[in-house]
Amino acid sequence: MMYLEAFPEELQGYYRKLFGEDAEVIMQKLREPVEKYYIRVNTLKISRDKLIEKLREERLKPKRSPYLEEGIYFEREGPNFPDDYNPDFPTVVANKYASESVYQGAMLYAPGVLKADRNIRAGDKVQIRDPKGLLVGIGIAKMNAKEMIKATRGIAVEVTLPKFKLPSLSELKSFEKGYFYPQSLPSMVTAKILEPSEDDLIIDMAAAPGGKTTHLSQLMQNRGEIIAIDKSRNRLKKMEETLKRLGVKNVKLIHMDSRNLPELGLKADKILLDAPCTALWVRPKLWEGRTPKDIMATARYQRHFINAAIKSLRKNGTLVY
């Protein structure tokens, strides 16, 4: 029952009330990465079959999604060691975000290190744990302990044995050329449900980092117009880079709080609203501090976005929330 330590008792009770006997399995599965890691083929630049050929050339094992013609997935590897595995190596403690990344195969970078045993030297074999003590991976230190704590960049630990292993894609040539975008299956389905056409004016109310926006663009063959809104300038800057990488040309970025969308005086054919949420279902969830009160507060917050969306739709327009 180790997975129960990841959730506050109040949240456990909430899940049991909602899901009954299935709650235990759900909480256990939330601790694990997805079994199938999806990417979306950027059909503005390449076909699925050609991308699969290129990925195989890069020594990966891509598989075709049976659900979406632009979907490709990779199967997860692991678990690579049991939950009670307790290796006798010096310990590096990583923050929650870094721990969840290491847990599924990423390197541990120095900014993610919270503390490290003083005797650690570069070249030592070390174990990596999250702040609550969960073992997330084993690797080789690339810095000594003091350097790990002080450094603001660079790999602190080269992870050789993560708990689970998902493919590392951002360094691939096919990624750099904009042939694909890492995106979950449900996220891809969302854009398909909206059924965008080449003549539509579409608004994406919480657009960054750009997965759904760029999917809409390729479904529209880079035609029509998409207004992509986000309140974070930094996220919009990164999104602009993504648009260039993927060759997207029919998107206009706007920096604003989408709750104020009616002030623009626009009337869209279709609106996509992936409202700010609790992210309680993002996997893996090594541990969670939110409670049912946070869920209710977020629901109230989301209503403001829904109201703004309704006011900005044309008659007989479509909102996907």
Say which CATH class 186-321 falls into.
alpha beta
pLDDT value for 6: 85
Q: Is 207 marked as a binding-site residue?
A: yes
CB 203 within 8 A of CB 227: yes
The superfamily CATH assigns to domain 91-162 is: PUA domain (2.30.130.10)
> What are the phi and psi torsion angles at 118 (to 5°)?
-60, -30
One-letter amino acid for residue 267 of the chain = K
Token couple for 64: 């075709």
- Known binding residue 206? Answer is yes
Q: What percent of the chain has pLDDT over 70?
A: 99
139: phi > 0 → left, psi -120 to 50 → alpha, else beta; which? beta
Domain ranges of the chain: 91-162, 186-321
**Strand ranges across the sheet with 225-230:** 251-255, 225-230, 201-204, 268-272, 313-320
For the chain, the average pLDDT equals: 97
Six-digit token pair at 216? 């809409």
User: Is 87 labeled as ligand-binding?
Assistant: no
Same fold, 91-162 and 186-321: no
Measure the CA–CA gap between 268 and 161, rounded to whole angstroms.
49
Evaluate whether 165 touches 105 at the Cβ level (below 8 Å). yes
pLDDT, tens only, 279-308: 999 999 998 999 999 999 999 999 999 999
Half-sphere CA count of 288, side-chain side, radius 13 A: 26
> How many Cα neighbours within 13 Å face the side chain of 290?
16
Closest CA to 302 of 257, 254, 266, 259: 259
Tell me: is residue 196 an annotated ligand-binding position.
no
Sign of CA dihedral 16, 19, 21, 23: negative
- Rounded Cα distance between 203 and 222, Å, is 15
**How many H-runs (helices) and E-runs (strands) does the chain carry?**
10, 15
Q: Is 224 helix (H, G, I), strand (E, B) or coil?
A: coil
**pLDDT tens readout for residues 167-191:** 999 999 999 999 999 999 999 999 9
211 is in an annotated binding site: yes
Range 253-274 average pLDDT: 98
Predicted TM-score (pTM) of the model is 0.92
